[in-house]
Structure 1
Amino acid sequence: MKYAVIGPGAIGSIIYCILEDKRDAILITKPYQLKILKEKGLKIKEFNKTVRTIRNVNVTSSFPKLKEVDVIFLCVKSTDTKEVAKKIKGNVKKSALIISLQNGVRNTDILSKITGITSIPGVVTFNATLNEIGEALLTMKGNIYLQNNKEFEYILNDIREIFNSSSIKIKLVDDIISLAWSKLVINLQNAITAITGQTIRQSLIDPISRKIIYHTLEEGIKVVEKKGVKLGFSFVLNPKLLLFLLRLPTFFIRFGVRLMRIESDAKSSMLQSILRGKPTEIEFLNGEIDKLARNMGLKAPINRELVQIVKEMERRKEHRFISPLELAATLGIN
């Protein structure tokens, strides 16, 4: 069984290191990333402790190499899905499987339509930061949930076996769509961190940021449930439980943050994109809620405004953050 990982970001780097330790694996990157990884290798840290270093990374920027591969883990931003899918098309065998470990709920449909290859969604519950190309830091522990698929049962069992010896486990579920929507709703808070510049821990401990997150998620839950999606059957990905927790006193929040082992420098993927001057996934998260609401004749004013603010930050390509107090006033949250 041969594996490929597309995208050497924080998630992709960690996935590649786990696969490479047990199976034949290749990492596909952009040319400039290839040069850096060839020179520096790949280092993975867990809570600031180095747990794996690969000097000779099996890395390429050549998509035709996918013809040798059985399973592709796609770990690029949702904004890049269509472009990458076009590069995969014609360069992969028809029996291959694509596993999307991306934010949002539409990536697998796009992938299957463009490539003609079976694509299944995965939901990642751990957090990681890319310190620089070739160095990823695991900042919050979690697992990966994958959609059960009888046709690819052998492959999924092999993947589960590979990950069993790592700190990240594979969980196979029958209703990945509900989990994906649950994660999308929880990830609506990423926009708040991107606008204020706060780390995940800071945004949860700050009472004003916490209030903004609460109203943002509450609005998202109402829209998604109106669509008929069942949310929160998993303890880890339970937006309604998170709403309850967000209303607890700060003392309990601090305790919970320590219990979850959220590192002080853990940043949301959206904030990481803003800091690098890269496009964010705002349209695939808060934008998805706004679009869904409008399609159903509803309104999602908080999420819509967050989309506009983040898109303006992308346009300016500068790190001019605003305070939680200013953001709350802009959103009309008292």
Structure 2
Amino acid sequence: MKSPFRHIAVVGAGAVGSYYGALLAAAGHRVTLIGREAHVRAIAAGGLRLHRRGQDEAIAVAASTDLDVVRDADLVLLAVKSGDTEALARQLAPRLQADALLLSLQNGVENAAALARHLRQAIVPAVVYVATAMPEPGRVVHSGGGDLVIGARDAASAQDAVMQARLASVVDLFASAGVSVRLSSDVMGELWTKLMVNCAWNAVSALAQAPYGRIAEVASMRELQREIVREVVAVAQADGRCLVFDEAMTAMQAIAVRMPMQRSSTAQDLARGKPTEIDHLNGFVARRGAELGVATPVNQALHALVKLAEAEAEAQAAAR
């Protein structure tokens, strides 16, 4: 099908960004992945190797380390870590086309607002539930999920007919690549639900280096996760979001069924000695809870433990 977008740039092409970029490229769309040098070299040498549904395939897709690639992109998929959002927005500001559409495929609930502080372009938050890993440069392994939820980030955008048409174009684009995209009237509320899920699984998976299915088998962990969810729901409600505890628990528990062998992105980062997004997950809940007068002792503890593990990994790397 004819693409509603002429050029799609994926900024921060790690496991998640590369996965969606590869699917769009395989569907015939013009895509450029912007990532680290080793990843770009590997893709140039043999395409992006994608493992899914028990099969390996090499997908031809352009890749670059140069952020200037975004200059002629009319759709930009942002997949950088939340901690890099502010710096990236400042770098993008002089490079983006005025009418470019930005789709944030990021964890956390602060990214759209952070981007909007620096950019005039339309920004679309996306909720991503996908199990991917990048065991080596140039290779992505998909083990579950992949659907997206998108929507207008504020009431003004929700009433804008032009924005609604652009959102429909995003739905059509991903549909052509076999990716289901659902339009939500409350995407920020759904991002809070995703934040709750991440808070319940990511730190625990990281500290134990365990997959979701294994964690779900341990009764004491199920009780701990119940308390994590209870705290996140309380903070969300104090922040004006409509999260319901029973519904949140159902959404959280479903992850272990859908992705039993997946280790969290936080676990993958910690195992590689890379900075995690914990400040924007359990750390955010603890910080926002303190601002709103909501106690979050479990989320505070998990945040502190992951920060300790990060510091120890950094110290060991420096000692080598």
Structure 1 residues 311 and 36: CA distance shift in structure 2, 3 A: same
1:206 Cα deviation after fit: 2.1
Number of aligned residue pairs: give it.
302
Say which of 133, 136, 143 aligns to 1:132: 136
**What's the TM-score once normalised by structure 1's chain length?**
0.83
Matched, 1:25 2:31: yes
Matched, 1:96 2:107: no
What residue number does 2:193 align with? Answer: 182
Q: RMSD in angstroms over aligned alpha carbons?
A: 2.4
State percent identity of aligned pairs: 25
Specify the code of the residue in structure 2 equivalent to 1:196.
Answer: A
1:165 Cα deviation after fit: 4.3
What residue number does 2:276 align with? Answer: 280
Matched, 1:120 2:124: yes
Q: Is the 8 A contact 1:275 1:319 kept in 2?
A: no
1:191 Cα deviation after fit: 0.8
Specify the code of the residue in structure 2 equivalent to 1:151.
Answer: V
What residue number does 1:324 align with? Answer: none
1:302 Cα deviation after fit: 0.8
Matched, 1:173 2:184: yes
1:167 Cα deviation after fit: 4.6
1:8 Cα deviation after fit: 1.9
**Structure 1 residues 98-153: Cα deviation after superposition (integer angstroms, max 9, x where no partner):** 11010011111111212332212100122212222221122222410011453234
Matched, 1:199 2:211: yes
Spell out structure 1 runs of 4+ moving beyond 4 A: none
What residue number does 1:4 align with? Answer: 9
- Please say which of residues 59-68 and 183-192 is displaced more in the overlay: 59-68
CA distance in 1, matches of 2:37, 2:175: 32
CA distance in 2, matches of 1:181, 1:145: 12
What residue number does 2:109 align with? Answer: 105
**Structure 1 residues 184-230: Cα deviation after superposition (integer angstroms, max 9, x where no partner):** 01110211111111111111122222222121112211221122211
Q: Is the 8 A contact 2:40 2:138 kept in 1?
A: no
What residue number does 2:41 align with? Answer: 35
Aligned pairs for 1:43-58 within 5 A? 43-50=49-56, 52-54=57-59, 56-58=60-62
**What's the TM-score once normalised by structure 2's chain length?**
0.87
Aligned pairs for 1:241-256 within 5 A? 241-242=250-251
> Where does the alignment leave 5 or more consecutive residues of structure 2 unmatched?
none
Q: Is the 8 A contact 1:28 1:59 kept in 2?
A: yes
Matched, 1:160 2:156: no
> Where does the alignment leave 5 or more consecutive residues of structure 1 unmatched?
246-252, 321-334
Specify the code of the residue in structure 1 equivalent to 2:35.
Answer: T
SS at match of 1:141: strand
Matched, 1:219 2:234: no
What residue number does 1:327 align with? Answer: none
